[in-house]
Amino acid sequence: MASKFILLALLALSFSRTLASDPGQLQDFCVADRTSQVFVNGFACKDPKTAVVEDFFFSGLHMTGNTSNKQGSAVTAVNVAQIAGLNTLGISLARIDFAPYGQNPPHIHPRASEILTVLEGSLYVGFVTSNPENRLFSKVLNKGDVFVFPQGLIHFQFNTGDKEAIAIAALSSKNPGVITIANAVFGSKSSISNDILAKAFHVDKRIVDHIQAQF
Ligand X SMILES: *[C@@H]1O[C@H](CO)[C@@H](O)[C@H](O)[C@H]1NC(C)=O
Q: Residues annotated in the binding site, as ranges?
A: 104, 107, 109, 114, 155
Contact between 19 and 150 under an 8 Å Cβ cutoff? The reply is no
Contact between 97 and 166 under an 8 Å Cβ cutoff? The reply is yes
Task: Report the distance separating Cα 57 and Cα 10, nearest Å.
Answer: 38
> Which stretches of the chain are DSSP H helices?
2-19, 181-186, 194-201, 205-213
Minimum distance of ligand X from residue 68's CB (angstroms): 4
Q: Find the binder of ligand X among 14, 25, 64, 66 (CB under 6 A).
A: 66
Minimum distance of ligand X from residue 157's CB (angstroms): 20
Tell me whether residue 104 or residue 194 sits nearer to ligand X (CB atom). Answer: 104
The verdict on 68 binding ligand X (CB under 6 A) reads yes
Tell me whether residue 105 or residue 152 sits nearer to ligand X (CB atom). Answer: 105
The binding site for Mn(2+) comprises: 107, 109, 114, 155
Question: At 193, is the secondary structure helix, strand, or coil?
Answer: coil
Task: Report the distance separating Cα 25 and Cα 15, nearest Å.
Answer: 17
The verdict on 36 binding ligand X (CB under 6 A) reads no
Which residue in the shown chain puts its C-beta closest to ligand X? 66
Q: Which residues in 106-165 contact ligand X (CB under 6 A)?
A: none
Question: How many residues touch ligand X (CB under 6 A)?
Answer: 2
Residue span 6-25 as binding mask against ligand X, x where in contact by CB under 6 A, dash where not: --------------------
All residues at 6 or more sequence positions from 105 whose CB lies less than 8 Å from its CB, including other chains: 71, 73, 156, 180, 181, 182
Minimum distance of ligand X from residue 71's CB (angstroms): 12
The verdict on 70 binding ligand X (CB under 6 A) reads no
Task: Report the distance separating Cα 127 and Cα 104, nearest Å.
Answer: 12
Which residue type sits at 151? Q
Residue numbers at the binding site for ligand X (CB under 6 A): 66, 68
